[in-house]
Amino acid sequence: MVFRTLVLKLAAFKPFEKLTKSKLFRPLVKRFVAGEDLDTALKVGEDYVKQGYLVSMDLLGENVATKQEADAETSAYIEMANRIIASPQRDAMNISVKLTALGMDLSDEIAVENYKKILDVCKPHDIFVRADMEASQYCGRTVKIIEQLFANYTNCGTVLQAYLHRTPGDIQTMIGLKARVRIVKGAYLEPDTVAYQIKSKVDEMYVAGAKTLLLDGNYPAIATHDEKIIALIKEFIKQEAIPRERYEFQMIFGVRRDLQEMLLKEGYNVRIYIPYGAAWYPYFSRRLAERPANMLFIAKSLFKK
């Protein structure tokens, strides 16, 4: 957790952002980001589906400042949706959106209006559109938006972060709705007033939340690259005789491909989160913060001839 905090603080400095856009970081960026355009990313997603994976497509970008920018992001998501609808692999593909990219910083009403436009395109084709969870100040608002929309849009759902103190209550809210949840540990820099700071406690809360969702949730997504947690979850699934069609594992493009392949070979549903777009820096910095090995990769490259 200390390493993650240091990297996230470092990522806020402009010189570090400039460095990550240099040639030095390019191989690592390409590892985590499936291209800067829809054509490239969609091909990556379709190739994963051909291997037997499910995928979730995500256009990177967040915190737009104007209504025009929010409208442009919405149009880009609708283009993505239409391309997925036209794809032979569409039944294995869904979409992740960030509500701040749809105008949430301007108002919840603008974000809801734009989210509904995307949901309207996807609903007749049974394409699920998940609202990604962002920093803690957006959490309650995002949960309320899902509560507001779910009666008419059962193809919406969200993400819950195990490190937030409020998450057990939000899990029960989503279970009551029957809305689909992706559970993650959490990747933002948060104060101890709202989030657990000790890794062992975050892991404990993650496992507890995942178990609750597996027992009572609607097709939860267990999103983790932590081998110990995956082993615990697999043992719980076996003990409770939970059918594999009732849940899926989710992993990020470029992270622990060995685990992705292992779970797929064992017969689990595995969905790969496919991020793309030019606005990749905030996403990329969070990926660096999650694993010391990612920074080690950079350090080694500095000494290559």
What are the catalytic residues? Answer: 132, 182
Rounded to whole angstroms, how far apart are CA atoms 66 and 103?
A: 7
Helix (H, G, I), strand (E, B) or coil at 143: helix
Hey, is 249 helix, strand or coil?
strand
Q: Point out which residues pair with 2 in neighbouring strands.
A: none
User: Would you state the structure tokens that stand for residue 174, as one six-digit string?
Assistant: 């989503």
Q: Can you tell me the distance from the alpha carbon of 188 to that of 228, in angstroms, rounded to the nearest whole number?
A: 22
Picking from 159, 164, 160, the residue whose alpha carbon sits closest to that of residue 191 is 164
In angstroms, rounded to a whole number, what is the distance separating the alpha carbons of residues 140 and 148?
A: 12
Of 132, 163, 166, give the one whose Cα is nearest residue 250. 132
Q: CB neighbours of 208 closer than 8 A, spacing ≥ 6?
A: 168
Q: Where are the alpha helices (DSSP H) in 13-107?
A: 14-20, 26-32, 38-50, 67-85
Those residues whose C-beta lies under 8 Å from the C-beta of residue 46, and which sit 6 or more positions away, are 87, 88, 89
Q: Which of 172, 164, 113, 120 is nearest to 138 (CA)?
A: 164
